[in-house]
Chain A
Amino acid sequence: MIKRDRIFVIATILPALAVIGFIILYPLARSLSYSLTNYNLIHRTNSFVGLQNFTLLFTDPTFYRALENTLLICIAPVVGAFLIGFAQALVLDQAIVARNFFRGLALVPWVIPQIVVAFLFNFMYNPSVGVVNVILKDLGLIHRYVPWLAHPGSAPVAVILAYIWNETPFFMLMLLAGLQSIPGDIVEAAVVDGASGLGVFRYITVPGLRRIIAISTILMVIWNFNNFTIIWPMTQGGPINATLTFVVYVYRNAFQNFNIGYAATVGVVWLVLLLILTFFYMRAVSGDEEPA
């Protein structure tokens, strides 16, 4: 590379790397180092305590509750949203009238801000004026209105449904893009060779989408770990910690109790879990295509 090009590369890449370094890497390292301290903004303590936070964490029943909830609330919606989004993508890939218009409409739940999603579902689950209660009562499935978000049994389900609704269009988009990248002549050749519609789906469509499916589902699980915007206005982690996830637990510890050391310890466990997921994500992104 000639010298002028080298300067150009450095000048163009450095600003982005500097931002990533100062606002992502440095704070990450600092946050993680707090896990070895009793840093507390209220008690004004900040000294090295070794692994004390970790021994505390691994005997903390609330932490195990949060771990369970995090796995459930971050993974279950991905399954639901993927299945509905896949169905939408298959239908919207067909020759139908006003196809682009319908594709745009199907996108709406994803482009509505998540804070609105949270309050919209709060409203729909409301025990006195919520449409969910009205419909279920009209159908005769319940006899009186139920406060869905106030019961530990129903609150996680209610939150997961809100996630599913919000995330479905993302899978629709990704899978639709994937469907369009499968060459039409392969499908035609299979049909000429006598493949049924189901056979084409099983042996051509699904293998052709393998990579997109892997990437989009893992990406969504990772995003869900960070999702605070929907869960906080709906339940704040309650009732009785029934929807307490890692992000809510970190927020409570760090910004309500100002127990920075303990919040950082939860963060370390979170990061380790995500690194395992990232490993699979990377393998999907950089891995070679398997022969179909």
Chain B
Amino acid sequence: MRRRRSARAQILLYIALAALLSFSLGPVLWMLSTSFKTRFDVFGSPGSLLPLHWTLSAYKTVLTDPHFTTYFANSLIVNVAASLLTVLLATIAGYSFSRFHFRGREALLLFILATQMFPSAVLLIALYIMFRHFGMLNSYPALIVSYVTFGLPFSIWMMRGFVDAVPVEIEHAAMIDGCTRANALVRVVAPMMLPGVIAVALFSFLAGWNDLIWALTINTSPGMKLIPPGFVSTYVGQFQTYWNQLMAGSVLVSLPTVVIFMLLQRYLVAGLTAGGVKG
């Protein structure tokens, strides 16, 4: 039980909350409000927090722009595939790292974590040359495997933490009842660590969704571009920017991650603490 606070402390607490949240939410509100403005309003009254004339025209323009929809679809395909693959690889590896004691296990785990520190732009140099050599530029597989490596090391650590939390007796019982170990993993353990699976999926999805340098380098043809390089080629260095459309596009690009994270916040917290805090 917490101590009861005085009325004054209570008021100060809510003032602090309001100040700290407006720091985080101010720019977001600005983005939302601009996306509902007309282009005229953006230039005519740049300081007004609310649109003078509410309109969906910026959204309509963006959603009917074939470039935007192509980039968006490409981003979804690459990132969904990469996070599914990451989840699969991390789950089975994390399981064995948790359940079996074998020689070199700790060293291997530390090594896997250490790969997370390697400069990704430096890996990109050699991979770019390799992908070029094999004719894999402007394709999905090159980016998918690249994105798997962003999240995989940390995901294995997170998964191991989640398997640790599943009582070993449950799968022993299943195995005595005739399940093979692989069966027990799929039927008994995996459903019990669903929060971990979700956390890993979210984590790796966001890691890929945040990338620019790989997508910018590997997929350059208009039909294969992802959203981040698409934004750069559309809006960087333009003499006149359609800010209301750019903000509408930004809202649409943010929706998948923001909505998923707001809904599944609890799992994310659990995942981060399993991987990063427990160690």
Contacts and interface: CB of A to CB of B under 8 A. Distances in A.
Nearest to B111: A20
A16 B253 contact: no
A174 B89 contact: no
A45 B2 CA distance: 70
Given A134-B46, A215-B276, A215-B277, A91 B16 contact: yes
Contact of A123 (B16, B97, B116, B246): B246
B153 A255 contact: no
A91 B17 contact: yes
A109 B123 contact: no
A191 interface: yes
Interface stretch (B58-66, B190-198, B226-234): B226-234
Contact of A111 (B46, B108, B118, B257): B257
A109 B257 CA distance: 11
B262 interface: yes
A191 B148 CA distance: 48
A242 interface: no
Contacts of B30: 120, 123-124, 131
A116 B119 contact: no
Interface SS majority for chain B? helix
B258 A111 contact: yes
A178 B272 CA distance: 11
A114 B20 contact: no
B267 interface: no
A152 interface: no
A169 B129 CA distance: 37
Given A19-B148, A113-B253, A124-B30, A274 B126 contact: no
A57 B17 CA distance: 49
B235 A119 contact: yes
B276 A219 contact: yes
Nearest to B30: A131
A24 B122 contact: no
Contacts of B47: 131, 134-135, 138
A260 B125 contact: yes
Contact of A177 (B95, B232, B273): B273
B145 A23 contact: yes
A104 B262 CA distance: 6
Contacts of A107: 261-262, 265
B127 interface: yes
Nearest to B229: A115
Interface string B77-108: 00000000000011011011100101000001
Contact of B210 (A4, A30, A191, A229): A229
Given A105-B24, A212-B277, A267-B119, A123 B243 contact: yes
29 contacts: A1-B102, A4-B181, A5-B181, A16-B89, A17-B108, A19-B149, A20-B153, A23-B146, A23-B148, A31-B126, A88-B24, A91-B17, A96-B14, A107-B265, A109-B27, A109-B28, A113-B254, A115-B210, A115-B228, A128-B43, A129-B43, A173-B272, A177-B277, A215-B279, A246-B121, A247-B213, A250-B119, A270-B122, A282-B114
Interface of A: 1, 4-6, 8-9, 11-13, 15-17, 19-20, 23-28, 30-32, 34, 84, 87-88, 91-92, 94-96, 100, 102-109, 111-116, 119-121, 123-124, 126, 128-131, 134-135, 138, 165, 168-169, 173-174, 176-178, 181, 191, 211-212, 215-216, 219, 222, 225-226, 228-229, 232-233, 236, 246-247, 250-251, 254-255, 260, 263-264, 267, 270-271, 274-275, 277-278, 281-282, 285-286
